[in-house]
Amino acid sequence: MAIVRVSGPKVREALERMAGSVPEPRRAVLRAVTHPSTGEVLDQALVLFFAGPASFTGEDVVELHLHGGRAVVAAVIGALGALDGLRLAEPGEFTRRAFDAGQLDLAEAEGLADLVQAETEMQRRQALSQAGGVLSRVYEGWRARLIRARAMIEAELDFADEDDVPAGVSDRAFAEMGAVAGEIRAELAPGGAGERLREGAEIVLLGAPNSGKSTLLNAIAGRDVAIVTDEPGTTRDLLEVRLDLGGYPATMVDTAGIRETESRVEREGVRRARARASGADIVVLLADGLDAASALPAPDGAELLRVRTKADLIDSSAERDSVRTRFDHTLSALTGAGVPEFLADLSARVASRLGSGEPQMITRNRHRVALEACAAALDAAQASRGAGPEIVAEELRRASDALGRVTGRVDVEDVLGAIFGEFCIGK
C-alpha cells in the first residue's frame, strides 16, 4: 500500500475532480481515482477526508490509500500536480504546517522526527514520549512558574503602596525561582543521556593484525561486512556497522591492525584507528594470545573490554587459567562460543552509558543550551535580589524566554529550517 496525502485549501476541489465528491469526514470510502483531464481510472483507492482545523496540519487534508506499485503512485502524484494550486510538499512541510497552525509545538515536532528515524526500542520510547508532549509539558510548566514569579516581582514593584499586594510576595517568587533552578540542574546533571540515545554508543574494535576483529564484526553483523584473510593488514580503513544492543543503538567500528609498518596506507589506517578509539564510548581490545594482549596499548578515557579471541585454538588448561585472569571474555567468532555472553555484557555496558530507558527531558543540544541559559539567568536573578526588582524581573524574562525557545514560543525562526528539514517528503 501507499498513502498520498494532500493538505491545503485546494483539497476539496481535488477530491471532486479526481474522486467524484468529498466524502464524510473521517470515514473511509472506496473510490475510483481518475485523472482530472482525461478521466482515465488510475486506481481503486480508499479515500479519507479530514476537515480542518481537526486535522494534523489544521487544514483540510485528504489521504489516498493506493495500491503500492510505483507506476500507480507516480500516476496519481502526476495527476494531482496537474491541478492548479497543487505542488509536491517540501521535506517536513506537513509537520511545519502543523506547527504553524498550533497543532503541535517545536519539541513535539522534534519528537516526531526522531520517531520517524528511530532504529531501536529505546529510541522509539524516547521519541514517542517527546512527540506525545511529555517534554513540552515539563518545559511549559517551568515557564509558567517563572512567569508567575515575574508577575509577583513586578506586582511588588508597580503596586507596592496598594493593600491588595501582600507583604513578602517577593520571598515566594525567589523560593519558586530556586525550586525551578534545582529541577533544571537535576535534568542537566546526567550528562547528555537523551542526546546520546539519539546518536547511539560507539564501540571500537582494536587489536593487532589478525587478532580476529573483522571476523567478530562479521559474526555480530550476521553478514560479510569486512574482508577476512590470513594476510596481516587486510583492513586499512574504518568499517562501521549499526547495531541494536538490547534496544539501545550502537555503532561498532572495525579498525586497522595496530602495528609498526613501512606502508604509508597502513600507517594512515593505524592513525585513524587510534584516533577513533580515543573518542569512543567503549573500546574492545582483542588479542589472540597473552603476548599480543600485553603489547597492545589501551587508549585513555574509554571504557575497556578485553577479549581473548580464537578460543577454539586454546589447547592447554594452563593457558585457559591465564586467559581467565587476563581477559573479560574468551570467545571464538568462528564457532560462536562465548559470543552471546560477550554481547550480553556489551549490551549492559551500552545501557549503563545511554541511560535507564526512561524518557529524558533533554534530547538535543539546543535543549541543553536553552536550559543552561535559563539556569544562568535564574542565578543572575538570585544574585540581583538586593539590586532592585527591575533587574530581577528582567532576568526572569530571560529565563522564561530561554524555556520558550524549546517549544517554539519565542524566537526560533533560525532553527525551524534545520528541524523540519530532517523529515522526508510528505511528513
For residue 298, name the pLDDT band (cuts at 50, 70, 90): low
> Residue 182 — very low, low, confident or very high, per pLDDT cuts 50/70/90?
very high
Categorize the per-residue pLDDT at 158 as very low, low, confident or very high, splitting at 50, 70 and 90: low
Residue 331 DSSP one-character state: -
Note the pLDDT tens digit of each residue in 254-288: 988 877 777 788 788 888 888 888 888 899 999 88
Helix axes 413-420, 93-100, angle to 10 degrees: 140
Question: CA 408, CA 136: separation in Å to the nearest integer?
Answer: 10
Which region among 52-66, 277-291, 316-330 has the lowest average model confidence (pLDDT)? Answer: 316-330
Give first-to-last CA distance, the chain, whole Å.
17
Look at residues 83, 80, 310, 96 and name the one whose alpha carbon lies nearest to residue 212: 310
Question: pLDDT for 183-221, tens place per residue?
Answer: 999 888 866 778 888 888 899 999 888 888 888 888 888
Cell of 115: 520517531
Q: Higher confidence at residue 228 or residue 2?
A: 2
Return the higher-pLDDT residue of 346 and 412. Answer: 346
The single residue listed with the C-alpha cell 503541535 is 104
Query: Any idea where the domains of the chain sit in the sequence?
Result: 2-100, 134-190+362-423, 197-354
CA 356/CA 193 separation, integer angstroms:
9
Q: Is the Cβ–Cβ distance between 250 and 243 less than 8 Å?
A: yes
Q: Tell me the helices (H) and strands (E) count for the chain, helix number first.
A: 16, 10
Q: How far apart are CA 311 and CA 331, in angstroms?
A: 5
| Statement: residue 358 has pLDDT above 80 | no
Instruction: State mean pLDDT over 225-251.
Output: 74
CA 268 – CA 256 distance, rounded (Å): 9
Query: pLDDT at residue 318 above 70?
Result: no
Distance (Å, rounded) from C-alpha 333 to C-alpha 85? Answer: 60
pLDDT value at residue 314: 76
In this prediction the pTM is: 0.77
Mean pLDDT (the chain) is 85
Fold of 134-190+362-423: Four Helix Bundle (Hemerythrin (Met), subunit A) (1.20.120)
**Could you report the per-residue pLDDT of 74-118, keeping only the tens digit for each?**
999 999 999 999 999 998 899 999 999 999 999 999 999 999 889
CATH 3.10.20.30 fits 197-354, yes or no: no
Flag whether pLDDT at 229 surpasses 80: no
pLDDT tier for residue 153 given thresholds of 50, 70 and 90: confident
Q: Can you tell me the distance from the alpha carbon of 296 to that of 311, in angstroms, rounded to the nearest whole number? A: 19
Class in CATH terms, 2-100? alpha beta
